[in-house]
Amino acid sequence: MFGQLLSLLAVIYVIRRAILFRRSARSLGNLPGYRVFVNTNTIYGLFMPKIRGFSQGASSFYLDKHSVYAWAGCDIVAHVSVFPDKVDIFVADANVIKEITTYRARFPKPVDYYDSLSFFGYNVVASEGEAWKKYRKICAPSFSERNNRLVWDEAVMTMNDIFDNAWENKERVVVDNFLDITLPVTLSIISVAGFGHKMTWKGDKIIPQGHQMTFKDSLYIVATHVIPKVVLPEWVMSLSSKTRQIDLGFKELRSYMVGMIETRKNSEKVERHDLFSNLLEANSGDGETETLSADELIGNIFIFLLAGHETTAHTLGYTFALLALYQDEQEKLYQHIKSIVKDNRAPVYSDMPLLTRTLAVFYETLRMFPSVTHIPKRSAEDTLFTIINAKNEMVTVPVPKGTDVSIDVPGLHNNPKYWDDPLTFKPDRFMKPDWNRDAFLPFSGGPRACLGRRFAETESVVVISMLISQYKITVKEEPQFANESFEMRKERLFKSTRLLTLTPIKVPLVLTRRT
């Protein structure tokens, strides 16, 4: 009898879930798209595999690119799940996306998704409304023209440090995974241009009194181990030597930043242009303007670190992989750089506007491999999206209040309405003055566009230009891949995972000094 009752309850539960699922799909007018058992559009969903009909998986949205929209015949699709009973909207239409990013009050950021990034303090990324306005007002001046010059100069010194001390001017350098180069490079640049702390490839080994590790080591741990810090409970961090070291790294960096705040508050004013100093200066206030607390200062500079290190490093990894695969594009870039930066001199900041092909290569990489694949928003009211479908019919999509609306960056960047032959690496797209800026969103858009865009562009132009001018880059030949085709090699080289940002798994390259 008891077993029959349980069976009846189970049947009722399944029927109820099915009714809720159908109701959710109908709430969007039965918009086609993904239908899954478990919603993976969360930070914990990063670890879910793709199982058809069960979960979409962490990387499938990136791998699908524009295919689901082509199948649906519309550049808006639905993602409906059973657990939780939830419906999300994914958008790859430039006009609708512009509406979403422009009208911030109607489509605010769902800050609950970002609470886990506030362990140092609330910040410009994990905030909305009046708090966001305050953070942006104080943070925006940090990214000044003087800071851009500092970024350029430090990037040049970092690359020379690698050439002279890491590679010791060797004729041939073999790198099993090029992220082992790009991650330290961007960390070194953000250390100086972000914190005013000079790092060298082999230096910074002395631990200051009152600390348990160097600033360089603590910065590296925080920059590369955000995921375990975000997803693991505090008590788990004490269970192994690895997690204890990660936990210590976060505590040490906080201690360093607190010390830097106190030192700069109590010392004579010295002209500095790093982000941390600029932020402290902007936060000094005039007695009437609201200022940031120490936790908010540290929270915001942490976000600068996170955004300025990993994202750029991964994009540069993809950039050099693309140039190694497409030798004709590498040669065009090399010839362009040499026409601007002559006589083996180091590039200077005034060269930046002239190095148009370098920036085009960087942009094309971001188009193909955007660091942030989806930009989450939430509808603050019942609204409608109007769009033209593949049959040239006007379609109206109802968007109920509270619906999560995700800007699908790979879907947009691979939409053939805006990009000819989108799966092919073509930097020339960005050499034309009329390329579609509304269909290019690696730095988000509207009022919430990335504050550090110019920072990332500046350091990337230096790193790409200097490396290509000094070395020819090829894919490392390995016996087990001797018979692979170009397409097989391409697939292997660009195999990726999506953690906080899109990440190439392994980029094995060989650098040969140019004569």
Could you list the residues known to form a binding site for heme, using ranges.
450
Structure tokens at 71: 């199948």
Cβ–Cβ < 8 Å for 94, 413: no
For 343-501, strand residue ranges (E) read 374-378, 383-388, 394-399, 404-408, 471-475, 496-498
How far does Cα 45 stand from its chain's mean position? 17
CA–CA dist 242, 488 (Å, integer): 36
Closest to 378 measured CA to CA, from 44, 129, 136: 129
Pick the closest to residue 190 from 455, 498, 382 (CA basis). 455
Task: Identify which of 102, 92, 85 has the alpha carbon closest to the alpha carbon of residue 37.
Answer: 85
Estimate to the nearest angstrom the gap between the alpha carbon of 422 and the chain centroid.
20
- Listing DSSP states for 365-396 in one string gives HHHHS-SS-EEEEE-SS-EEEEEE-TTS-EEE
DSSP codes of every residue in 196-238: S----SS---PPPTT-SS-HHHHHHHHHH-HHHHHHS-GGGGG
Angular region, 175: left φ>0, alpha ψ -120 to 50, beta rest: beta
Tell me if residue 278 falls in helix, strand or coil. Answer: helix
Rounded Cα gap, residues 503 and 155, in angstroms = 22
Binding residues: 450
